[in-house]
Amino acid sequence: MQIKSVRRATATAAVLGAVLVTLSACEASPSGGAKNGLPGPHTRPPEAARAAGAGPAGQPDRPAPVGDPGRLPGVGEQWQALIPDHSGQVVAVYGEGRDSADATVVLYTRQAGGWQPVGSWPAHNGRAGWSTDHYAGDGRSPVGVFTVTDAGGVLPDPGTRLSYAQGRDLYTPPHYWSPAYRHDFDYVIAIDYNRLRGTPPHDTTHPWGDGRGGGIWLHLDHGSGTSACIGLPREAMVYLLRTLDPALEPVVVMGDRPSLRS
């Protein structure tokens, strides 16, 4: 009986430890460090990135950038070239400035006339802004184009076509986090940045090394900047989960507006 109790306690501690390591990657508390890193195996930094995709949403709450309908609005040549021709959905994260935590997320779908906005929401990015050379703990979100393949969260699958890993033990923030962040990970979508595609969001494998971070997600917004993730309203996360289609090879295009236009 005593042996069983010890084994049970050991197993519980191991699970808790894994959860804390995972959540520390996206921890949004002002006093917490982030583990957010280099692009994953299918992406590269700005000078040589890789990407994929786009998807639907509600009507934009502010005018989307205008331009050539065959090109993603507000996105310059170097980033445009990283969106594969066969991608059909893009989640564009337009940061308000290099050092700003405020952003707007627009969901685009590729249609006959080009990229069309189908939804837009206010959002937050890294509390310190954006970086084209992101490191763990810098408080900035990485600028780039990244695939999205896997999702999960505390709550059950709302009806997504992405791979979904649900588990209260996997995504519930530690008790010592501020109550404001308690529901951040009810739903998450992993951004393929220094992670293995096809693995659950809580997987902590960082192919480019822990120093360059990892664990960068789209997740529920708590009303302020994050460690590097993108915070969105609950209705936006549910919509994205139900709309993003792996068959359309969706991607996230993210950065501050000046950097994206470059």
Task: Please give the pLDDT value at position 85.
Answer: 87
Q: In sequence order, what are the residues at sequence separation of 6 or more whose Cβ sits closer than 8 angstroms to the Cβ of residue 100?
A: 129, 256
pLDDT at residue 93 tops 80 = yes
Distance CA 87, CA 250 (A): 6
Containing H/E element for 168? Answer: helix 168-171
Confidence of residue 23 (pLDDT cuts 50, 70, 90): low
Q: What is the mean pLDDT of the segment spanning 197-220?
A: 96
CA 41 to chain centre: 16
Distance CA 262, CA 242 (A): 32
Say how many residues make up the chain: 262
Distance CA 108, CA 169 (A): 34
Percent of the chain clearing pLDDT 90 (strictly above): 70
Q: In sequence order, what are the residues at sequence separation of 6 or more whose Cβ sits closer than 8 angstroms to the Cβ of residue 4?
A: none
Per the prediction, the chain carries an average pLDDT of: 81
Alpha-carbon dihedral of residues 195, 82, 96, 206, nearest 10 degrees? 10
What's the alpha-carbon Rg for the chain, to the nearest Å?
18
Distance CA 117, CA 226 (A): 25
Global confidence as pTM: 0.79
Task: Please give the pLDDT value at position 102.
Answer: 98
- 118-134 pLDDT, tens digit each: 999 999 999 999 999 99
